[in-house]
Amino acid sequence: MHDPDCLFCKIAQGQIPSRKVHEDDEFFAFHDIRPAAPIHFLIVPKHHVASMAQVTDQHAPMLGRMLTLAPRLALQEGCNPYPDGGFRLVVNTGSEGGQEVHHLHLHVLGGPRPWARG
């Protein structure tokens, strides 16, 4: 199921161009248009879920697969391996949580950040 008015549904269906990182039957991953790190991409489920606030127990297997996809894609996109390298996973939920597009998505951020302190 998709929402015909949802930006991320349109991107996942190829209706809006993006810099694709990965696509399979369940997920679409693409580079963020306003990256907050040298490596910054999003993983979105193709099935529309508005936010983490709408997640139920039935979504647990999908969330698990999304979380296990993230490290593989992070390495593929150039993140250095753990423990010296690494990446950050972020899910913003709702307007007060910083969510701008109301389609569940996982931000994957990595790469050298000289401005960040350890």
pLDDT tens digits for 62-103?
Answer: 999 999 999 999 999 999 999 999 999 999 999 999 999 999
Q: Of the listed 48, 102, 105, 107, which one is catalytic?
A: 105
pLDDT 10s digits, 10-32: 999 999 999 999 999 999 999 99
Q: What pTM was computed for the model?
A: 0.93
Residue in this structure with the two tokens 């193709």, named with its chain if needed: 46
Enter the CATH code of domain 7-96: 3.30.428.10
> Which of 11, 9, 31, 2 lies closest to 19, judged by CA?
31
Token code pair at residue 82: 């753990």
* Contact criterion met (CB below 8 Å) for 27 and 66: yes
Per-residue pLDDT at 2: 82
Query: Is residue 114's pLDDT more than 70?
Result: no
User: Band of the pLDDT at 112, cuts 50, 70, 90?
Assistant: confident
Q: Would you give the DSSP letter of residue 26?
A: S
Q: Burial code of 66-95, b = ≥16 C-beta within 10 A, e = fewer?
A: beebbbebbeebebeeeeeeebbeebbbee
Annotated active-site residue 105? The verdict is yes
